[in-house]
Amino acid sequence: MRRVIIVGDIHGCFDELVELLEEVAIRPDDLLVSVGDLVDRGPAPGEVVRFFRERPNSVVVMGNHERKHVRGVFSYAQEITRLQLGDDYAESVDWMRTLPYYFENEHVRVVHAALRPGIPLADQREEVLCGSTKGERELATLFPDGHWYDHYTDAKPVVFGHHVTGREPMTRDGRIFGLDTGACHGWNLTALCLPDRTVHSVRAHADHWAATKRRWQLPVLKTRPWRDASWVELGQATERFSCAPDTDARRWLERLQVWAAGLQSTFPTLVTTAHRVADELTRDELRRHPAAKILFQALAGRLDGTSLARQCPTPRRTIDLAAALGLVLEEPPT
């Protein structure tokens, strides 16, 4: 049988992947299988994706992290990956969309997270296979007192990642292999080689997730859609930030607050300007005006600071209204 090399969660740890493949002395005709989670948290997701796409004899199983990108479910780790991949992001996500939810041949089964024992892989729910939040809940209901693999009795080995097993992989009866050894957290990247069922690990060079989180704070902050945030969200931007902001990020967040406060402080001016413009224009001109609604309210004596604030719930609405009234307000800090 030709060799199959199955690698645990890589999470953008490209240098460790290269070292691990050297360690197992990979050959071009070896089948290389990733359990999924190529991206998110680590320093080089683009290199990892490119490697698997370009290498013949390679299979990548859909991980819950790929699935987040495919479904557009974004938290901080995904925002970072989108910036890391840059112009290649959309195309890479299109590729992720094509990933299978499992790999099986006559010697082994590979899934990202879990399977329901006794059910063919083709009949399993994708959420369970890839370990989405919903799939995890379903499993917890099915196996309240243990793990799915406690009930896996088939002779064919099953290999998965997803839950960090510690620095060492989990192996049971030489049939059950949990390979996520926390490479992106500074632990190990692990591979299983078939048919001899040997396990190989290399040490991670650093706590990559901690470093990546810090490194991308400011770029991520700058790409958030602040123009469409509510004033409350803008006020809470610092608290809502997912890790303690460094000096640069904190300084930028302060500028963001100043910007938001500056926009809100123009409300009285906008009211005055609306009244002036309304008085200057004919009814016909008013009807065709981009700020017609507010101008008619002014004309009817129903426009004051409170009603204007209600109609300007975000920076964008405020800036657009001001522009319609001939005033140029500041854009968010860059």
User: C-beta of 261: minimal distance to Mn ion in Å?
Assistant: 41
Shorter beta-carbon distance to Mn ion: residue 9 or 127 = 9
Please calculate the CA angle 98-48-224 and round it to the nearest 5 degrees. 80
Nearer to Mn ion among residue 129 and residue 263 (C-beta): 129
H/E stretch holding 4:
strand 4-7
Tell me how long the chain is.
334
User: How many helices (H) and strands (E) are present in the chain, helices listed first?
Assistant: 17, 10
In angstroms, rounded to a whole number, what is the distance separating the alpha carbons of residues 309 and 301? 16
Compute the distance between CA of residue 10 and CA of residue 12 in angstroms, rounded to an integer.
6
Residue 162 beta carbon to Mn ion: minimum distance, rounded to whole angstroms: 5
State the DSSP H helix or E strand holding residue 255, giving kind and residue range, or none if neither: helix 247-264
Look at residues 50, 43, 47, 88 and name the one whose alpha carbon lies nearest to residue 69.
88
Q: Closer CB to Mn ion, residue 9 or residue 16?
A: 9
E runs forming strands in 81-234: 102-104, 109-111, 158-160, 170-172, 176-178, 188-194, 198-203
Q: Which is nearer to Mn ion, 61 or 295 (CB)?
A: 61
The helix or strand, by DSSP H or E, that contains position 31, with its residue range, turns out to be strand 31-34
Residues that bind Mn ion (CB under 5 A): 9, 37
As measured in angstroms, the least distance from the Cβ of 189 to Mn ion is 12
Q: What is the closest distance, in whole angstroms, from the C-beta atom of residue 42 to Mn ion in the complex?
A: 10
CB of 112 to Mn ion, least distance (A): 8
Residue 163 C-beta: closest distance to Mn ion, Å: 8
In the bound state with Mn ion, the residue whose beta carbon lies nearer, of 209 and 252, is 209
- Whole-number minimum distance, CB 193 to Mn ion, in Å? 21
Judged by beta carbon, residue 9 or residue 30, the one nearer Mn ion is: 9
User: Containing H/E element for 238?
Assistant: helix 237-240
Min separation Cβ 9 and Mn ion, Å: 4
Instruction: Give ∠ CA 249-71-32 in degrees, rounded to 5.
Output: 95
Q: Which is nearer to Mn ion, 10 or 218 (CB)?
A: 10
**Of residues 185 and 200, the one with the C-beta less far from Mn ion:** 185
**Which alpha helices (H) appear in 89-229, and where do they start and end?**
89-97, 126-130, 133-142, 208-215, 217-223
Write the CA distances from 329 to 234, 254, 257, 269, 273, integer angstroms. 17, 18, 15, 11, 14
